[in-house]
Amino acid sequence: MNPEHIVLTEAYYYILLSLFKPLHGYGIMKKIAKLSDGRVMLAAGTLYGALSKLEQNQWIKALPVNNFDCKKQYLITPKGKEIVINELKRLEELVNNGQQIIEEN
């Protein structure tokens, strides 16, 4: 599938944004809540299902677990970055088109 034609769900978008630096599941949930001012609150089941799918798509990768921190951490891949950048462009186009129409009327 062409990365330019992928439309992300809000959950996927925020998960990908949160993984520009390595994070574990709970850290991802906290970061998304902070980014969205508490508007987007992902339940653990939703988050881990999404992480699994994003990993299958190779948009994120699980990092090796070290002996000091047993928590599994994830990081966005270059493919994932391309997807989220394309989504940001798509969203900017939506906002710009909406503003243009509203300002004309």
Please report which helix (H) or strand (E) contains residue 98, including its range. helix 78-104
- Residue pair 90/78 in contact (Cβ under 8 Å)? The answer is no
Per residue in 3-32, pLDDT tens?
Answer: 678 999 999 999 999 999 999 999 999 999
pLDDT tier, 1 (very low <50, low <70, confident <90, very high otherwise) = low
Residue 70's SS3 state is: coil
Its pTM stands at: 0.89
pLDDT at residue 62 in the model: 95
Of the candidates 60, 72, 29, 34, which has an alpha carbon nearest to the alpha carbon of residue 47? 29
Please report which helix (H) or strand (E) contains residue 76, including its range. strand 73-76
What is the average per-residue pLDDT within 54-62? 97
Token pair 């994120």 in the structure block, residue: 60
- Residue pair 99/19 in contact (Cβ under 8 Å)? The answer is no
Torsion of CA 80, 6, 57, 69, to 10 degrees: 40
Q: What share of the chain is helix, strand, coil (3-state, %, to 5)?
A: 60, 10, 30
Token pair 């959950």 in the structure block, residue: 11
